[in-house]
Each structure stands twice: as C-alpha cells, then as structure tokens.
A and B are shown apart, each in its own frame.
Chain A
Amino acid sequence: MTQVLVIGAGPAGLAAATAASALGADVTVLDSSYDLGGQYWRHLPSTRPTASEGILLHGFERFRELRERLENDSQVRILTLSQVWAIDRNPDTRNAGDSSVGDRWRVHVLQGVPDGHDRLALTIIPDAIVFATGAHDRTLPFTGWQLPGVFSAGAAQALAKGERVAVGSRVVVSGAGPFLLPVAASLVQAGAKVLGVYEASTISRLASGWLPRPWQLLGAPGKAAELVGYVGNHLRNRIPYRTGRAVIAAEGDGRVERVVVARLDANWAPIVGTTRTIEADAVCIGHGFTPRLELPIAVGCALSAERFVAVDHRQATSSPGVYAAGEITGIGGVDAALAEGSIAGHSAAGGSDDEAAMSRQRRLRAASTRFAARIEAAHGIRPGWSQWLTPDTLICRCEEVSYGRLCDTSAHTGSAGLRSLKLSTRAGLGICQGRVCGRTVEDLLGRLAAGGLIDTTSTDRRPIVSPIRLGELAGGTVLPPAPPPPGNTEERE
C-alpha cells in the first residue's frame, strides 16, 4: 500500500489526505498546531465551541466535514502538535537512481508541545510526500515596528480567531491585500475598535486589478456569501477603509501609543507633507504572504521565478514522489488550496491524471490561479516603500540590525553575496532565522549591491526547519518506531 505523508493540515493538506485515502493509500497527515484546520480554519479549541464559528470562518462547514471524515478513516493517522524539523535522504536508498521514487526521504518529526521538554522523536519514511505547509505574513519594516503593540496581521487574526483576544482596544490595520479585511473584522468581533484599515495600493491600481470595493474579492472565486456579508457590513458601517496610505512609523514610550500614517504614491513611496498621527495602542501589519519553502527546498524542489514551488498539472514537484499544494504553490486562497490539495493527494496515491474526478478540481484551480494573479496585480509590494525607512529603522528585529547598517556594510564591502552580507551584518541570523525579515533583507541588499546579489543561496533555505534542543538531537540516535494507526494492520517497519 502506498504510504502518503501530508505535511500541513490546512485546507490543502486536508483535501490531499482525503483524496489520497479515497484511492486506498495509507495516509499520515501531520501539523504543528494542536488541531487541524491550519491558519485559515483556525478556531477555538474543540473544548470551547461557539455557534459563531461558522460565521467567522469561511467555509467552516466544509472544514467540519473534512475533519470528521479524516478522523473516522482507519487508513488515516493524524499527528497534531507535530513539527517536522528536518528532512534528509534515507541512507538505505541514498545511492539509488532518480527512477527510485519511494523511500527516498526521511522526515524527522518532533511531537509534543513546542518548547516542551518531552517531545517524542519520530522518523517517517513515506513513499510519497504532499507539502501543504502554507504561508506566513510578509511584514514590511517601518520605524518603531519592534515596539510591543505591533503585530503581524496573521498573528492578530490568530489570537482573535483562536482565543477571542483582541490585540488592543484602539487598533490600526495597515498593509496590502484583501486579507486585511477579515483581520479587521476578527478584531471587531473580539471587541477592539478598529480605527482604520490603510491599504498601500492606490485606488487606481486597485481598480485595474479589482473593483474599488475590495470586500468583493473575498468571495471570489467561490461562494462566501456569509463572510462577504459579515465583513462588508462591518467595513461599510464602522471601519474607515483608506487606499494609498500606510503606517510608516509607530511611536511610544516602551509600547505603541500612536502611529504615523502617510499617503503613498502609486509606487508606495510616502508623499512628503501628508503624515498624520493617530492615537492607537496596537497596529496590525500585513503585506501579503511568504510561502513556507524550507521543506520543499530541503528535498530539492525547483521554485518558480516568483519563488513558489513549481508544480505540474498533477501538482508534482521536480522532486520525484513529492507533491505540493496550497499557498506554497501560489497565493490563491482557500478554493485554490482545496482543489490543489485534492489533485496532489490523488497524484501522490498513484491516481491516474485523466480521471474525471480530477477535471472539476482542475477547473477550480485554473479559476483560482487567475484570482492569484489579480491579487498580485492589485496588491503586490511596490519598491517605493523603502523610502519610509530611516537609517535607524530596524530591518532585522532579532539581531537589531538597522537599515543604516545594511547600507554601510554593503557600501564598504561591495559584496554581491547574500551569505557574506548576512554574516557581516547579522541580518536574518537571529532566532526567527529570517522568517520575518528574510525577503526584505534580500530585497534591500539586492538594491544596494551594484549589480544585484549573485549568489545562489536564499533566505528561504533552512535545513533545520524549526529549532531543536541539542538533547533532542543527540537523544534521537535510536528512534522509536512511529505508533501504528488504530485499526491499520499493514503498518510498515
């Protein structure tokens, strides 16, 4: 029986697990969170259910259906609180040629509470892998963004959705993209006053990508009447939505007390003389998403020019036996993720690619791809933003590396190498390993280097995917076998 490992239990991963199981595969689906659903379907713990969940979460019924089905499927084993910390080649098949598909990779997992002291080490050697690891928020830096009270939009939303906690009482939301709207709505739902949503793209650019009523995009291309109604209602009635504006600084004594908002030109450069200060105790920032590419890079998956995992019509990556679905293949939203997940799971389980069942999924995927392109056209980051930086603005918060430091080091070394510049400035070398600032560091250093950066490394490459204690690393020499799933007798050694 084909052993399929699905990494990530958001919409794409759940759809993949369902499709793979439908073809008779033995499926393991794992996620670092305490429950299924991913970032998208983040919800209150099942011990604290609420009737409004379905209103707040787009397609929550679909989620409940997928979860229930997987939980009752004896061919599927679900591993929550399970973090893949590395993938390497299986030494037993290391020297096999490329034609050998199965058993190529060892997936190293730690199961237990993150930062816990008794995490269980598991090693899984699947025949096929589906990566559905999703994306995290991209946040452009600004002066004062290291202050307590500054949140990524995703973190603010996760707190609101998962804990019903608002990050502040007077909150400003700033950034780019339709995602800012449900964030604002979640904050209102959790009891905050949202003072404004500031979208960096100008109205003319939005109009060319979309209609100037961005809540209309939330529904596209699927049906999301409740959410559109809910968000749209809030926005129209209570929250000022301003385009061509951005928070360019946060100020306060030890925490955010006010933010500075400026008007931006079409290139996202702040327009002199347009700043305005707003009293606020929290600011939520999101400038789109960065795909989590560590694992695909670890197994050698080719990336597209836009730096997503490149996949073919079967969601197969360039690495044999490895498939990818969801936001790591392009920011397409939940409908794209579900369609891609279904195709990826089907392919990973050895399904033929001309089955009729897949044609509907392929049509859905095609529509979503167009949707992703329109989001990028309307909300993609424009280079003028760097003009709101000052020499003192921190770029890497972990290592406290300022923009001035990047400029000086680049000028004095003349290096065109990301590796050398990172080591010389320490940008991106801190505990988050560049997850927050990596793309920004690359962008800024690339602009500062005379001919751009030329080395082949990238800040997305992280062979150690998440921190592991030395004791866990050392102690794992003898690994316990993964527990067999209930009711499954064909477990392999």
Chain B
Amino acid sequence: MFDVVVIGAGIVGAACARKLAMLDRSVLVIDSGSTAGGTSSQGEGNLLLSDKAPGPELVLAQYARRLWPQLAADLADELGREFPSIEFDPKGGLVVSTTDVGASPLLAFAASQRAAGVDAQSISIAEALEREPDLNPAIGAAVFYPEDAQVQPAIATEALLASARLHGVEVRQGVEVTGVMVDGSGSVVGVHTGRGDIPCGAVVIAAGPWSARVARSFGLLVPIRPRRGMVLVTSRMPHRIFHKVYDADYVGAVESGDAALQTSSVVESTAAGTVLIGSSREQIGFDDRLNVDVLRQLASKALRLFPFLHEQPVMRAYGGFRPYMPDHLPLISADLRMPGLWHATGHEGAGIGLSIATAEMIGAAMTGTFAEIDASPFSLERASLAPFLVEAA
C-alpha cells in the first residue's frame, strides 16, 4: 500500500515523487514506458523567464528559478560524481527582434516584465554583439535576461528519480494504468494497471500530453492536447553561441492557440558542443512523423539570427509532444470530482523549468501547508478552464 501513486516518470512526476517522499509519503512512480521516455527527453531543457508575460505562469517560473540552483547542487551532492551532470547552466537569454516592426513590442514586453520583477535589460545592438559576436547585426532591438537558464532535461529527470529513490520512492517502468479504483464515497483507493491493481491513498497524474488519456481511463475529462515540436541538432562545433538566443516572435508562438504550424527561432549551444535549433508548434495529434517543411522553416529562421551557421551540418532532428492547455496555464490541482486525485501537468513547453515549483505546490497542497505562491490560478476550478470541461455534445 502506497500513500501516493504518481503516474508518469517524466520530470514533473519525478519532481513530485521526490518532494512527496521528502514529506514522508510512501510513493510509487509508474510509467507505461520508460523513465524520461516522453516529453522530458524531447525538448531543449528550458528554464525561461524571458518568454513569459506577467501573470501566474511567470510567478511560477520565478519561483522555480529560485529553486533550481539549490536543487542542482543538492542533486550533485546526493548522487555523487558517477552520476552524469544535469548541466544546469545559468547562461542567460538574449531576445532580439529580427524585424523593425518587432522592436517596439519586444521593448514594451520587456518593460512589463521588469514591472513584474524580471531582470530584463534592454541593451544596445553593440552590447548584444558583444555578448554574441556572431549574431546577425541587422537586428532591431535586444533584451538580455540574465535569469534564463538551461538543463539537460533527460539527465535532470533521471537525477530527480535517482534522488527520489534515495528518499524511498519506488519506480516501475512498463506499467500501464488502465483505470482507477474508488470506494463507496467515490474517493481514490488505488489504480488498475496492466500488471495488477495497486492500492494507494492518492494518485497524481503527471503524464504530460498523455494526461488526458489517463484521466479518460478514470472517466474524467481533462482538456490537455499534444502540441508537436521539432528541434534540429547540428554536429559538434567550437562554442560560438553563448546564450539562449531567440527571435521575439517566439513569445507570440508560445502564447498562440493556433493549431497551424508556427515556428520561431531559438538557438543555443549545449555542453556537448552541438547547437540546438527550435522550435515549432503544431497541433496534429500524436503524429510523430517528419515534416521537412517544418525543418526548412526552422533552418531559415535560425540563419536569420546566426548567418555563420549556413555551412553547419544538421545531423539529427527530434521531436516530441508538449502538453497543451487551452488557457495556457498548467494544471497543478486536486480534482474535486474524485477525492484523492491530483493533477500535475499541462506545462506546455515549460515543464522542465516549472517541474520543481510544481512539485513544491503539490507537496504543500497534499500536506495542507501553505504554498509559497498562490495556487488558485493553476486549479482545475479556475474560470478560464470551465468552458473546456464540458463534454462536446
């Protein structure tokens, strides 16, 4: 008998399990696939403030950003030198507008973020080129965000799981949840799985874009849809890109609800010496097949930022599915329709960064203690979600 079963061995599930174990809960993590096998290993590992407009998600991201440096240090201490580094790198972000039209919206956006406590420094083109000497000088405006950071997301997930295990968490891979067990009052008392029933006191669904499918097997509607993304990876090269550099139209793409393909350029180096080029957003269901048109758009937008990449070979493309919420806010909440059921999902492309704050929120809510930030904007009860919780007739 476990106190809590966490469904999903991605970064959000891993962080929640670790936190709950540190709060003395007995926790089992199950995943129908393997650890870090879904969205957590399919993105760049963004810890971004720069792309978030003032509002609850920014508050959550700021909270998470305060937690990451200590978490990175704790994981390194706990896991020792034989465990690969999570490559936490507070490299900072540089957002530029590649068009004149884009310049004033970018500067206005940065000003609004500054009012919300973000370190968003409007810098001159010359200063931008000092930070990124190979950047295309034909830019309209530049804002530097020292708080933006990066981790290697698959390793960060594995590190959180390894740490969770040190705190007593059990992790089972290849176990698919097929339904929920409830008592006479409708409260959760366990889950049915492909490998037998598992009794428990509470369930946390942290299955990212597959959360809707899990909830559906419980008879519940959760309005999460997959939003496809693709990233290009170049061959290794000497470091010539020093920050997370992106085009200001990225913000528009993140905040858009449009199902059609959108691309915007996000370019950065990794510790391994490759350059990652993102990112696309498409709502095409769980279709993971290649679309060359998407790759072409990513490439041309990246060259607009860094023309020197023209000759650099792309050796790999990978993609995944972000858990998309129709009102653009994650779901970190009890589910009042079924006592004992919790959601920690719906972070779209920001789940790596937000995972650690999400775990704190879940831990506080499940133990009835005060959370450091207001949880109500992430509740299933929020007004902006209501229209999406009604079954289409």
The chain A residues found within 8 Å of chain B, CB to CB, are: 86-89, 91, 106, 108, 117, 298, 300, 399, 408-409, 412-420, 423-426, 429-431, 433, 451, 453-456, 462-464, 467-471, 473-474, 476-477
- Given contacts A424-B158, A431-B235, are A474 and B299 in contact (CB under 8 A)? yes
Report yes or no: B36 in contact with A298, Cβ–Cβ below 8 A: no
Residues of A near B162 (CB, < 8 A) are 412-414
Residues of B near A108 (CB, < 8 A) are 292
| In the assembled complex, B34 has its CB within 8 A of some CB on chain A | yes
How far is it, in angstroms, between the C-alpha of A108 and the C-alpha of B317 when the chains are bound?
15
Residues of B near A451 (CB, < 8 A) are 173-174
CB nearest to B310 among chain A residues: A471
Report yes or no: B299 in contact with A470, Cβ–Cβ below 8 A: yes
- In the assembled complex, the CB of A454 is this many whole angstroms from the nearest CB of chain B, namely 4
Report yes or no: A473 in contact with B161, Cβ–Cβ below 8 A: no
Report yes or no: B292 in contact with A417, Cβ–Cβ below 8 A: no
- In the assembled complex, the CB of A114 is this many whole angstroms from the nearest CB of chain B, namely 11
Report yes or no: A467 in contact with B314, Cβ–Cβ below 8 A: yes
Contact with A along B213-247 (1 / 0, CB 8 A): 00000000000000000001011100000000000
Residues of A near B300 (CB, < 8 A) are 474, 477
| In the assembled complex, B302 has its CB within 8 A of some CB on chain A | yes
Residues of B near A425 (CB, < 8 A) are 84
Residues of B near A88 (CB, < 8 A) are 289-292
How far is it, in angstroms, between the C-alpha of A476 and the C-alpha of B161 when the chains are bound?
43
CB nearest to A94 among chain B residues: B291
CB nearest to A477 among chain B residues: B296
Contact among A87, A454, A462 for B34, CB-based, below 8 A: A454
Extra 18 A-B pairs, beta carbons < 8 Å, given A413-B83, A429-B316, A464-B316? A86-B290, A298-B289, A409-B84, A414-B161, A416-B34, A416-B35, A417-B35, A419-B36, A423-B36, A423-B41, A424-B84, A424-B155, A429-B272, A462-B316, A464-B314, A468-B313, A470-B299, A476-B296
| 28 A-B pairs with C-beta separation under 8 A | A86-B295, A87-B290, A88-B291, A88-B292, A91-B293, A106-B292, A409-B83, A412-B83, A416-B35, A417-B34, A417-B37, A418-B34, A420-B41, A420-B158, A424-B158, A425-B84, A429-B316, A454-B34, A469-B310, A470-B234, A470-B277, A470-B299, A470-B302, A471-B303, A471-B310, A474-B296, A474-B303, A476-B296
Residues of B near A87 (CB, < 8 A) are 290
Report yes or no: B316 in contact with A455, Cβ–Cβ below 8 A: no
| In the assembled complex, B309 has its CB within 8 A of some CB on chain A | yes
Contact among A399, A417, A468, A474 for B33, CB-based, below 8 A: A417
Contact with A along B164-205 (1 / 0, CB 8 A): 010000010110000000000000000000000000000000
How far is it, in angstroms, between the C-alpha of A418 and the C-alpha of B174 when the chains are bound?
13
How far is it, in angstroms, between the C-alpha of A412 and the C-alpha of B289 when the chains are bound?
32
How far is it, in angstroms, between the C-alpha of A469 and the C-alpha of B289 when the chains are bound?
21
| In the assembled complex, B357 has its CB within 8 A of some CB on chain A | no
How far is it, in angstroms, between the C-alpha of A399 and the C-alpha of B316 when the chains are bound?
15
- In the assembled complex, the CB of A391 is this many whole angstroms from the nearest CB of chain B, namely 12
Residues of A near B36 (CB, < 8 A) are 415, 417, 419-420, 423
CB nearest to B86 among chain A residues: A424
- In the assembled complex, the CB of A424 is this many whole angstroms from the nearest CB of chain B, namely 5
CB nearest to A398 among chain B residues: B236
| In the assembled complex, B391 has its CB within 8 A of some CB on chain A | no
CB nearest to B288 among chain A residues: A463
Report yes or no: A454 in contact with B174, Cβ–Cβ below 8 A: yes
- In the assembled complex, the CB of A457 is this many whole angstroms from the nearest CB of chain B, namely 8
Contact among B41, B154, B236, B291 for A431, CB-based, below 8 A: B236
Most interface-central of B83, B291, B299, B302 (chain A CB within 10 A): B299
Provide the main secondary structure of the chain B interface: mixed
How far is it, in angstroms, between the C-alpha of A426 and the C-alpha of B36 when the chains are bound?
15
- In the assembled complex, the CB of B83 is this many whole angstroms from the nearest CB of chain A, namely 5
Report yes or no: B313 in contact with A412, Cβ–Cβ below 8 A: no
Report yes or no: B35 in contact with A473, Cβ–Cβ below 8 A: no
Residues of B near A473 (CB, < 8 A) are 232, 295-296, 299, 314
The chain B residues found within 8 Å of chain A, CB to CB, are: 33-37, 41, 79, 82-84, 152, 154-155, 157-158, 161-162, 165, 171, 173-174, 232, 234-236, 272, 277, 289-293, 295-296, 299-300, 302-303, 309-317
Residues of B near A476 (CB, < 8 A) are 296
How far is it, in angstroms, between the C-alpha of A469 and the C-alpha of B300 when the chains are bound?
11
Report yes or no: B154 in contact with A420, Cβ–Cβ below 8 A: yes
- In the assembled complex, the CB of B136 is this many whole angstroms from the nearest CB of chain A, namely 13
- Given contacts A416-B173, A453-B34, A474-B300, are A469 and B155 in contact (CB under 8 A)? no
- In the assembled complex, the CB of B84 is this many whole angstroms from the nearest CB of chain A, namely 5
Residues of B near A468 (CB, < 8 A) are 313-314
How far is it, in angstroms, between the C-alpha of A474 and the C-alpha of B298 when the chains are bound?
8
Report yes or no: B314 in contact with A470, Cβ–Cβ below 8 A: yes
CB nearest to B307 among chain A residues: A471
Residues of B near A409 (CB, < 8 A) are 83-84
Report yes or no: A416 in contact with B158, Cβ–Cβ below 8 A: no
Residues of A near B312 (CB, < 8 A) are 469-470
Residues of B near A462 (CB, < 8 A) are 316
- Given contacts A424-B155, A424-B158, are A419 and B41 in contact (CB under 8 A)? yes
CB nearest to A425 among chain B residues: B84
- Given contacts A89-B291, A415-B34, are A117 and B311 in contact (CB under 8 A)? yes
Residues of A near B35 (CB, < 8 A) are 413-417, 420
- In the assembled complex, the CB of A65 is this many whole angstroms from the nearest CB of chain B, namely 37
CB nearest to A86 among chain B residues: B292
Lowest 4 CB-CB distances: which A-B pairs, in order? A417-B34, A467-B313, A471-B310, A423-B154
Most interface-central of B157, B235, B313 (chain A CB within 10 A): B313
- In the assembled complex, the CB of A489 is this many whole angstroms from the nearest CB of chain B, namely 29
Residues of B near A453 (CB, < 8 A) are 34
How far is it, in angstroms, between the C-alpha of A152 and the C-alpha of B232 when the chains are bound?
30
Residues of A near B272 (CB, < 8 A) are 399, 426, 429
How far is it, in angstroms, between the C-alpha of A417 and the C-alpha of B314 when the chains are bound?
25
Residues of A near B161 (CB, < 8 A) are 413-414
CB nearest to B284 among chain A residues: A94
Contact among A417, A418, A420, A463 for B317, CB-based, below 8 A: A463
- Given contacts A467-B235, A477-B300, are A415 and B158 in contact (CB under 8 A)? yes
Residues of A near B37 (CB, < 8 A) are 417, 419-420, 455
Report yes or no: B171 in contact with A414, Cβ–Cβ below 8 A: yes
How far is it, in angstroms, between the C-alpha of A425 and the C-alpha of B158 when the chains are bound?
12
Residues of B near A433 (CB, < 8 A) are 315-316
How far is it, in angstroms, between the C-alpha of A453 and the C-alpha of B235 when the chains are bound?
27
How far is it, in angstroms, between the C-alpha of A159 and the C-alpha of B291 when the chains are bound?
37
How far is it, in angstroms, between the C-alpha of A283 and the C-alpha of B296 when the chains are bound?
42
How far is it, in angstroms, between the C-alpha of A417 and the C-alpha of B277 when the chains are bound?
24
How far is it, in angstroms, between the C-alpha of A420 and the C-alpha of B159 when the chains are bound?
11
How far is it, in angstroms, between the C-alpha of A431 and the C-alpha of B315 when the chains are bound?
7
How far is it, in angstroms, between the C-alpha of A423 and the C-alpha of B87 when the chains are bound?
12
How far is it, in angstroms, between the C-alpha of A150 and the C-alpha of B220 when the chains are bound?
60
Residues of A near B235 (CB, < 8 A) are 431, 467
How far is it, in angstroms, between the C-alpha of A91 and the C-alpha of B261 when the chains are bound?
13
CB nearest to A412 among chain B residues: B83
Most interface-central of B83, B173, B292, B296 (chain A CB within 10 A): B292
